[in-house]
Amino acid sequence: MGISIMNFISRLFLGMRRQVAIVFAISSYDIDRRSTGSSIGAWESIVNPLQIMLFFIGMRVGFSLLRGSSRYAAGGSTDMYFNIVVFIASGFCIAFLFRMVAIKALSGLKLRAPLYYPRIKPLDILLAMALNDFRALATISLGILGLVWYFTWSFQLDSPGLAISVYLITVLMALGFGICLVFLGRLNKWITRIVKRILNRLIIFTSGIFFATFELPEYVRPLVTWNPVLHAVELFRYSLNNQYPIPDISLAYLIWCSLVLFGFSLILYRTNESLLLESNSE
């Protein structure tokens, strides 16, 4: 009995190790493939999100200047808790991780010629793309936060455990949502384009990148607090500064949404995996 259990654990460990190696190999292949088609090479995965983040920071600075606020503050009552860069970066690294995984999944997962092997599954491709997005956004966020803390000498991370938990829960939710969108992306192309545009606008305007929940009037909050990404963003900011108020924000709601999405997506994937087996020699 003991030997059979040890054999099972050994096979399970080897299988997981092999699966991780496959995902990392696909991740490296995807980086190499994109870098050969770009003038800036492998830096493209970092430069593109960085440009968007700097644009958002510029917009928030512009709004704060119009209101007569400090140039270096986040604008409005958030000045008491964060400066502009930390405020935007903390929201961007969470919300855009979800957005990037969802949009890529909606565009479809194609087994291009070098990846067309029985051992490689569509889920492996989604995991590899999510890993690359996670690396890029984590690099940008850590770099920007490190520079801000270095020049302002105001390092603050009150709840590192909560920060890591929120980030991992968001990754789990993004994967679950992405798997669901993979199947949606196989429908009519017009439906895919409409959903993609709706996703872009919903994530940008309801995920709290530009605003804090406590800044909104109480009767307006239900219009945005349905979005679990907003809960992830606000909880991540709260983990940086525990004095930051987060009314109507719930960690339990975020966990519930993540588990429901991820569980449903695994069932959907398990029963319909054959629908995603599509090759493309491009």
pLDDT in tens, 110-154: 544 455 566 677 777 778 888 888 888 888 888 887 887 777 777
Cβ distance 53 to 158 under 8 Å? no
| Other beta carbons less than 10 A from residue 165's beta carbon | 17
Please tell me the predicted confidence (pLDDT) of residue 72: 46
pLDDT for res 281: 41
| CA separation, residue 55 to residues 59, 132, 183, 186, 230 (Å) | 6, 22, 32, 33, 20
pLDDT at 230: 92
Q: How far apart are the first and last CA of the chain?
A: 51
DSSP string, 206-223: HSSSS--GGGS-TTTGGG
CB 46 within 8 A of CB 136: yes
pTM for this predicted structure:
0.81
User: What percentage of the chain exceeds 90 in pLDDT?
Assistant: 7
Count Cβ atoms below 10 Å from residue 250 Cβ, excluding itself: 14
Give per-10-residue mean pLDDT for the chain (282 aa). Answer: 69 78 80 70 74 78 63 54 80 84 68 56 78 83 80 78 88 83 70 75 80 85 90 91 88 92 85 61 41
Closest CA to 120 of 9, 30, 13: 30
| Tokens 């992405």 belong to residue | 178
**Six-digit token pair at 279?**
């090759």
Q: What pLDDT score does 123 carry?
A: 76
DSSP type of residue 169 = H
Residue spans of beta strands (DSSP E) within 41-170: 111-112
How many Å apart are CA 226 and CA 236, to the nearest integer?
17
**So what's the pLDDT on residue 234?**
92
96, 264 Cβ separation under 8 angstroms = no
